[in-house]
Amino acid sequence: MAAVKLLGFWASPFVNRVQIALNLKSISYEYIEQNLRSKSQLLLESNPVHKKVPVLIHGDKNISESVVIVQYIDEAWNDGPSILPSHPYDRANARFWAAYVTDKWFPLVSEYRTTEGAEAKAAVREKILEGLVILEEAFVKFSEGRGYFGGDNIGYIDIVLGSLLGWLRVREVTQGVTFLDKTIAPELAAWADRFTLHPAVADVLPTTEKLIELINGFTKSK
C-alpha cells in the first residue's frame, strides 16, 4: 500500500475529522504539522486551489477538503469498519446531515460569538437550541438505541459533528453559555461524552485548555 501522509494543523476540527477516519480504519500515516501563517511549499503544491489543510497524500495522489477525504478513506480502504452506510439512501441521508451540521448549525455558534446586544444574542442562541433538538431527533432515529449515529460504531455523521466538539466546548467556556444542553438533548449530550472517549478519538481532539491557550495567543499577537 502506498505511503500515506496528512498535512494538518492540530487545532483544526477539519483535520481532526481525517485523523479520526484514519484511526478508525487503522491506517498508518505520517502527520506533517503545518504553520498556517507561513505555508509550506508542500502544502501549496498539494492543494494549489484552496491552499489550506487538511490534505491527504496517498502515494502520488493529493486529496483535499475534509469531507471529501473522509469519503475517500472509506472507499479506498476496505479493512476496518465502514464509515458511510452501504445503502445509497442511507449514504445520502448521512451526507445530508453532515452538510446540515457543517453549513447550517455550527456556523450559528460563531455567529453567536460575534453578535452584539443581549436580544440579538438570545435570538441566535434560540436558533442553536432549535437545531440541537433537530440533531437530537436525528440521533435517536439513526442510532436506533445504540451508541452512535452510525449504530454500534462511529460513522460519517459522528465524525463530522464530533470533530467540532472541542471548539463547541471552548465557546461554551469563553462565552459562558451552554450550547450542548443536556436538558434539551440528553441523548446527544451522552453521545458527545461517548464519542470523545472512543479510542479513535481520544488522542485526536484538542483539550479545551489547549484551544483556549491558542485563542489567547492569537489575541496577544494582534
In whole angstroms, what is the distance from residue 156 CA to residue 101 CA? 12
Cβ atoms of 150 and 158 closer than 8 Å = yes
CATH 3.40.30.10 is right for the domain spanning 4-76: yes
Same fold, 4-76 and 88-209: no
Cβ atoms of 206 and 10 closer than 8 Å = yes
User: Residue 161, Cα to own-chain centre: how many angstroms?
Assistant: 5
Print pLDDT tens along the chain (222 aa).
Answer: 579 999 999 999 999 999 999 999 999 999 999 999 999 999 999 999 999 999 999 999 999 999 999 999 999 999 889 999 999 999 999 999 999 999 999 999 999 999 999 999 999 999 999 999 999 999 999 999 999 999 999 999 999 999 999 999 999 999 999 999 999 999 999 999 999 999 999 999 999 999 999 999 876 665
In whole angstroms, what is the distance from residue 122 CA to residue 104 CA? 18
What's the whole-model pTM score? Answer: 0.95
> Where along the chain do its domains lie?
4-76, 88-209
Second CATH level (architecture) for the domain 88-209: Up-down Bundle (1.20)
Length of the chain equals 222
Cell numbers that stand for 88 in this block? 445509497
64 by DSSP, 3-state: which?
strand
